[in-house]
């Protein structure tokens, strides 16, 4: 299975490829319309993948923050228990 971080890495690679503006060379004029339609489909797919990558990135950040908050709660509860034991 693909992990969320691996999916993010793949989407970042695709985003970088799109931003690099690479084009094909030595293309005949009759193939340009075919390539343009394929590129439109490819661009649409890439844009959807970028949106998925952004959603995954947000989810990863949310879960990391949730983990940090959980650790803080555990530390606070342990401190309260320790203070309670000292006051007995």
DSSP class per residue in 49-82: HHHHHHHHHHHHHHHHHHHHHHHHHHHHHHHHHH
Range 2-21 average pLDDT = 71
pLDDT of residue 19: 66
Residue with the bigger pLDDT between 2 and 37: it is 37
pLDDT of residue 54: 86
pLDDT at 24 over 60: no
The answer to whether the pTM exceeds 0.75 is no
* CB-based contact 46:18 (threshold 8 Å): yes
Task: In whole angstroms, give the CA distance from residue 12 to residue 20.
Answer: 12
pLDDT at 59 over 60: yes
Q: How confident is the model at residue 66 (pLDDT cuts 50, 70, 90)?
A: confident
CB contact set of 56 (below 8 Å; sequence gap of 6+): 4, 7, 8, 11
């Amino acid at each position: 299975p693909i992990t969320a971080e691996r999916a993010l890495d793949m989407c970042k690679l695709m985003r970088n490829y799109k931003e690099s503006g690479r084009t094909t060379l030595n293309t005949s004029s009759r193939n340009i319309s075919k390539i343009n339609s394929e590129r439109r489909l490819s661009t649409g797919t890439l844009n959807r993948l970028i949106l998925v990558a952004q959603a995954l990135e947000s989810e990863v950040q949310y879960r990391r923050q949730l983990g940090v908050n959980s650790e803080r709660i555990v530390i606070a509860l342990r401190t309260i228990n320790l203070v309670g034991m000292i006051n007995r």
